[in-house]
Amino acid sequence: MKKLAFVMTGLLLVALIVACAPAPTPAPTAAPPTKAPEATKAPAATVAPTKAAAPAAGGRLALVKGRGKLICGVNDALPGFSALDKATGQFSGFDADYCRAVAAAVFGDPKAVEFRPLNTGQRGPALQTGEIDVLIRNTTWTVSRDTTWGLFAPTTFYDGQGIMVPKKLGAKTLKDLKGATICVQSGTTTELNLTDQMRAAGVDFKPVVFADIDPTYAAYEQGRCDAVTSDKSQLAARRTVMKNPADHEILEVTMSKEPLGPVVPLGDDQWFNVVKWTVFATIQAEEFGVTSKNVDEMTKSTNPDIKRFLTDEGLAKNLGLAADWTVKVIKAVGNYGEIYDRNLGPNTPLNIPRGLNQIWTKGGLLYAPPYR
């Protein structure tokens, strides 16, 4: 009985190895008829995954168009950038509007978006596996992420890392935080910057690291930590939802450069161009003075630059988009200034000054290459 099992296993293994070998050589062992179906089945199954994975690699624009909606990775707990709006049940905010802008560019319909909430730890793998089409989740552009996560489209928000403390602590600089406990989110650039800055200042501290955004601020607000660190925009955003926003202050010090922008999976130039130029289009529109209100009249503009920007068929075709894609984007979400004011401007609880996030002609860093 045992002998029989050995003989049969051996025969099957030999047959399998032969079948899977790259160059099919005539099998020296006489193959019993029983294993024939097994042998033919094996190579067929190993070929299948390569075929299935192929469309995900090239032609994501076609993939997105075929699917009929854009899958956009976002934060789900950052008021002003992207969070569920209690009134409408929809995602709202600066980053969420950029998801809609990309959808408007591809489909002409800003509603064709599936928002996929991700935490800081999930966002890298989500890009690497190509599970999402674009990540617009207050993500800092760094060289390591540019090479291992995905390609960064132009920065939509120039930020810097800050640190928030309760006012009653009376701390003004990093040195005042010697020996302090600081809450920070895992898997962020701020986690590393914090360590670098404190090392540079020669100040010891204890980090308490959380995987999600809510526990990080809950622990800070309840007094587990003396301070919490993140991008200044995030601190301002989270302060608005604290019990007593006036009790907390964000220190003057800016600990790092945090350019935040959309990211697309590596290895797809065409799709990268679509996302990149969608961002540029919003910036260019503000520079031209094109807004969601006047965009229809502007298409008849006598200024050749503006006319080309809004109506040129050839340039749009090179991008793989419809001729009026810029009109659709501006109509759906407005130009950069409109997106900013709606979500972060003076009439919002965040009220973040434009600062560096101003058009280059007004002294900011926003600069779109010529659309021609």
Nearer CB in complex with other proteins: 188/343: 188
Distance of closest approach, residue 196 Cβ to other proteins, in angstroms: 7
Distance of closest approach, residue 50 Cβ to other proteins, in angstroms: 6
- Given a contact cutoff of 8 angstroms between Cβ atoms, the answer to whether 272 and 150 are in contact is no
As a whole number of angstroms, the distance between CA 360 and CA 283 comes to 10
Nearer CB in complex with other proteins: 25/50: 50
Mapping DSSP to helix (H, G, I), strand (E, B) and coil, where does residue 283 land? Answer: helix
Distance of closest approach, residue 7 Cβ to other proteins, in angstroms: 6
Nearer CB in complex with other proteins: 125/369: 125
Nearer CB in complex with other proteins: 199/293: 199
As a whole number of angstroms, the distance between CA 346 and CA 344 comes to 7
Distance of closest approach, residue 26 Cβ to other proteins, in angstroms: 22
- β-bridge partners, 366: 359
Contact set with other proteins (CB under 8 A)? 1, 3-5, 7-9, 12, 16, 32, 34, 38, 41-42, 45-46, 48-50, 53, 56-57, 120-121, 124-125, 128-130, 144-145, 147-149, 178-181, 183, 186-188, 191-192, 194-196, 198-199, 205-212, 215, 218-219, 222-224, 226, 265-267
Nearest alpha carbon to residue 53 among 116, 125, 129: 129
- Given a contact cutoff of 8 angstroms between Cβ atoms, the answer to whether 277 and 312 are in contact is no
Distance of closest approach, residue 329 Cβ to other proteins, in angstroms: 28
134: left (phi over 0), alpha (psi -120 to 50) or beta: beta
As a whole number of angstroms, the distance between CA 192 and CA 186 comes to 10
Nearer CB in complex with other proteins: 209/365: 209
